Structure formats: structure tokens, C-alpha cells
Structure 1
């Protein structure tokens, strides 16, 4: 911020120095009369600087941006008229030689009085309009930065809410599964609790980041699948295929787990054979995740879980990967299929 302020001051000094030297730059190699340069250029330039900075630091903020247009126009009109008369007064009292030469000139060589006044007014209008343009641009940039910051804070807040929403949802479903094992197989229930503690440790301490290596997320999903397989019967077949090598790709944490939860929740039958197929592939910066399971919708009286899994995925995808994802679900021949593709760059 301090560096930007120094650059701004330097640019202002550079502009005014260039304008100060302009008479000599435009008449390179020709002799300039110093009094004429003072009277007709440097003094109006000094008045222009006053108009510019008075508007830039005071009038534009106080009157223009607060919609006090009459005051804004009135103050600037009075200031310009004052400088017009002050310039004439200075010339009449301190630059008599220039005044004598002006009187000696014929009417043909002198511009009409009205045109001369018009040109001077325009010369004072230029810094006024430039100060308005700069101040308006600066205000717009500040407003846009604040808007983006507010949107970013809102985005992080929503993502954090969804993340915290997912954790109890995941924990609740897992506890339901372990509860079903307590009477049937106490040893498996103990093993499940131990596995769940590892998964929860990962969720609590390693996923509070924007992106995580895909390899860690894959390891988490494999452990969860192993945990779920403990409570299903031998009639349930789970096939999964994940990238074996380190891809270097990073993804948002806990993005795919809800789909796997959904498969075990709605795709497993206790009385007949069920098949869950999970496939993930990674090509450069694109990750494709496909999961298929039998379509066995949850009964109305079954209140386990909160049913927020798929909604949570869609909301997070909208926030994390706008225009960089494809999420499709379909039911074909009693098989539910979900396909999620994301572009990580």
C-alpha cells in the first residue's frame, strides 16, 4: 500500500513537471520570452493544479458523490471566474510589458475577447473533468474490490458451512452402520469404530484446506469403502478402480464421499446380490469419477441420514468449480449411475 502511494505521488509529479516544461518542449530550439511563459502558461497551470487537487481531495467527495450538484457546480464556477479575474489582475499589475505589446498589436493579430475567455474557461475545465474521472475511477476500483472481497468472504462462509454440514452427516450415517453391527458382530463393530475414528481424524484435521492431493482423498475413500464392507453381507460386491500413481492433482476435500455413501445407503440389499462399481480416472487436470449401484430407494419410514448428500455435492460444485464441472445422475435398468467430472485448473 505504501509502495502504491509513492508511485502515485511520483506519477503526479512527473505529469506536472512535463506540463511545466511543455512550452520549451513544443518550441525546441526557439527562444522563449520568460515573462510571456509565466503569464500565459505557468500561472494558469498553477491555477489548474489548484482546481484539480481541490476537486480531487475535497469537492468531488463532499458534493458530487453526495449528489449536491448545485453546490458542486456553484463552487467550481466561482473558482474558475475568480481565477479568470485573478489572471487578468496579475497580468495588468506585474507584466506591464506584455500588456503594452498586446495594446500595440492590431485587432487582426489579437483573438476576439470572447474567444480568449472561452479558451481560458476550457483550460480550467480540463483539470476539473480530469479530477472527476480519476476520482470516479478510484471509487469504482475500491467498490469493485470491496464487492469481490465480500463475495469471497461469502463464498468461504458457504463452503465452510457445507463442510461442517457434511461432517455430522457422514458421522451420523457411519454410526447407523456400526449400530447395525453391534448385535450381529461385536468384533466387527469394534473394528468399525476404530476405522471410523481414523476417518474422522482425517476429516477434522486434514480437510480444512481449499484443495488436497487426490492421492489422500483416494486413500480416504478406500478406507471408507473397507469400513462399509464390514457391515454388508457377502451378497454385496464392491468393485473399485482408482489411479495407483501419484497424479499431482489437487481437488476439493470430501467431494466424492457423498456419492459412495449414497451407493451403500441406496444400492445394497440384504436379501439379494448387489453390485457397486466405482471408477476414477485422471487425465492431466481432469478428474472423472463414475459410480454405479442397484437402485433401491430408501423407504419412507427409514429416517436414517438427512438426505443432504447429493444436494451438498451440487452446491459445493457450483461454488468451487463454476463452469468447470459436469455432474449427471441417471437410472437405467434399475441401476443408478452418477458421473462427476471436474477440471482442477
Structure 2
């Protein structure tokens, strides 16, 4: 803000210096009469500057922008009239020799009084109109900046809400899975609680950023898959393909975990064989995530889960990667397939 004010001040200063220097530039190489320059150029320019800044700093904000148009016009008409009177009296009092010289040289005394008033009034209208144009432009720029800031705050708020919504959803689903193990395999339940604590530490302390390295997200998904594999039977096969090591790609955190959750929730059966396959590939600016699982629809009486997983993914994609993603879900030969492609730049 301070830097912008300095730039504005310097811009105004340079413009006025150029305008005050203009008489010299136009008459360069010719005989110059300093009194004529003061009377004909600098005094009108000084009065124009006063009118400009009175409007720029006071009248436009307090009257024009507050819909007090009649008062704004009246005050400016009075200002123009007063400044015309001052200009004429200053010339007659301090620079009357210019008029005498013009008469002695055989030149007329100037245009008729009405024409003089008309021309001078138009001259003083220019800084008024220019101040209105400049102030209106600044106001539009400021309004647009405030609109973008408000939209950005809203976006961050929505993303934060979705992030906080995802955390308890993930936590309670994982607890439900561990609860089912307690009686069957206490040792596995203990191991699962320890693994869950690591996952929750990652979610709470490492994902409150806009983007994270893809390698961290891959490591998190592997740990989650290992946790989920503890609760499924030997009838379920889980396989995955993730890139190894650092890829140099960054991604919004927790973008894929809901899809993996969904696969373990709806793609696993206690009595039938099932297979979950996860594949993630990437290049310099594109990530392709594909997950396939058998489709075992929930029965009407099954109230487990909140059903926010897929909806959460879609909302986050719309907010984080507008026009930079494609997300499709299909059911083919009784297998559910979800494919997500994200352009990362």
C-alpha cells in the first residue's frame, strides 16, 4: 500500500512538472517573456491544479459518489467563476503591461467577454472531468480488488470447511473398521490404532497448506491401504502402482484418499472374492489416478458412512482445479471405476 502511494505521488508530480515545463518546450529557441509565461500558462495551470485536487480528494468522494450531483455541479460552477475572476484580476493587477504591449503592437484586446468566459470555462472543466475519470477508474480497480479478495476469502473458507469435513469422516470410518477387529483380532486392532494415529498426525499437522509434494501423498495412501488391508479377509486382493521417489510435482493434500476409502467401503465383501486395483501415473504437469473395485451396493438398511466422499472430491476439484481436471466414474461388468486427471500447472 505504501509503495503504491509513492508511485501515485511520483506520477502526479511528473505530470505537473511536464505541464509547467511545456511553455519552455514549445518556445525553445525563441525569445521568452517570463511574465507572459506566468500570466498565460502558469497561473491558469495552478488554478487548474487546485480545481483538480479539490475534486480528486474532496468533492468527488463526498458529493459525486454519494449521489449529491446538484451540489457537486453547483460548487464546481462557483469554483470556476471564482477562478475566472481571480485570473482576470491577477492579470489586470500584476501583468497589465502585457495588455498595453498588445495594444501598442496594434493587436486587438482579445475575444469578446462572453467568448472569453466560455473558452476559459471549458479550460477549467478539463481538470474536473479528468479528476472524475481518474477517481472513477481508481474506484473500479479498488472495487474489483475487493471483490477478488472477498472471493478468495470465500474460496479459502469453503476449502477449509471441506478439509475439516474430511478429517472426522476419515477418522470415524477408520475407527469403525478398527472396532470390528477388536473382538476378532486384538493385536491387529492395536496395530491399527497405532497406524491410525500416524495418519491422523499427518492429516492434522501436514495438510494445512495449499499443496504438498506428491511423494508425501503417496506415502500417506500406502499407509492407509496397509491399515485397511488389516481388516479385510483373504478373499480380498489389493494391488497398487505408485511412482517411486520424488516426482517434483505438488498436489492439493488428501485429494485421492476419499476414492480409496470408497473402494474399501463398497468394493469388499466378506463372502465373495474381490479385487481393488489402484494406479497413479504422472508426468511433468499431469496426474492420472485410477481406481477399480468390485461393486457391492449398500443395502437400504446399511447406514454406515456419511456418503460425503465422492461429493467432497468433486467440490474440492471445482474450487482448486477449475477447468484443469476431469473426473469420471463408471460401472462396467460389475466393477466400479473412478478416473481422475489433474493438470498441475
Q: TM-score, structure 2 length as denominator?
A: 0.96
Bigger Cα displacement from structure 2, 136-145 vs 59-68: 136-145
| 1:150-299 correspondence runs (5 A) | 150-299=150-299
Q: Distance in 2 between matches of 1:70 and 1:49?
A: 23
Q: 2: distance between equivalents of 1:126 and 1:158?
A: 48
Deviation track 1:34-89 (CA, whole Å, cap 9, x = no partner) reads: 22211111110110010001001100000000010001111011101111122111
Alignment RMSD: 1.6
Contact 2:99 2:109 in 1 (8 A): no
Establish whether residue 38 from structure 1 lines up as the match of residue 29 from structure 2: no
Residues 254, 287 of structure 1: alpha-carbon distance in 2 compared, 3 angstrom cutoff: same
With 46-55 and 86-95 compared, the bigger mean Cα shift is at 86-95
* CA distance in structure 1 between the partners assigned to 2:259 and 2:77 by the alignment: 69
SS in 2 for 1:21: helix
Q: Tell me the secondary structure at the aligned position of residue 184 of structure 1.
A: coil
Q: Deviations over 1:73-108 (max 9, x none)?
A: 110111011111221111222222122244456677
Distance 1:6-1:256 versus aligned 2 partners, 3 A rule: same
1:53 and 2:49 correspond: no
Partner of 1:72: 72
Q: CA deviation at 1:2?
A: 2.5
Relative to structure 1, the CA distance from residue 109 to residue 86 in structure 2 (aligned partners, 3 Å threshold; closer, same or farther) is closer
- 1:283 deviation in Å? 1.1
C-alpha separation in 1, matches of 2:326 and 2:112: 72
For residue 6 of structure 1, report the CA deviation from its aligned partner: 2.4
The one-character-per-residue Cα deviations of 1:173-195 (angstroms, maximum 9, x if unpaired) are: 11111111112222211111111
1:303 Cα deviation after fit: 1.4
Cα deviations across residues 188-232 of structure 1 (Å, max 9, x unaligned)?
A: 111111111111111111111111110010011011111111111
Matches within 5 A, 1:53-132: 53-104=53-104, 110-132=110-132
Shift of 1:297: 1.3
Partners of 2:184 and 2:325 in 1: CA distance: 42
> Where do 5+ consecutive residues of structure 1 fail to align?
none
Q: Give the Å deviation of 1:132.
A: 1.0
**Separation in 1 of the partners of 2:112 and 2:101?**
16
For 1:101-154, what per-residue CA distance to the aligned partner results, in whole angstroms no more than 9, with x for missing partners?
444566779445444333322221111111111211222222222211111111
Task: Give distance in 1, aligned partners of 2:7 and 2:196.
Answer: 57
| Equivalence for 1:140 | 140
Whether the 8 Å CA contact 2:102–2:108 is kept in 1: the answer is no
**In 2: Cα distance, 1:302 partner to 1:240 partner:** 28
- Scaled by the length of structure 1, what TM-score is found? 0.96
Q: How big is each residue's C-alpha offset from its partner over 1:287-338, in whole Å with a ceiling of 9 and x where there is no partner?
A: 1100011111112211111110001011111111111111111111111111
Aligned 8 A contact 2:290 2:338 in 1: yes
* Structure 1 counterpart SS, 2:207: coil
For the structure 1 residues 43 and 108, does the alpha-carbon distance in structure 2 shift closer, same or farther, using more than 3 Å as the test? Answer: closer
Q: Return 5+ residue gaps in structure 2 as ranges.
A: none
Match of 2:2 in 1: 2
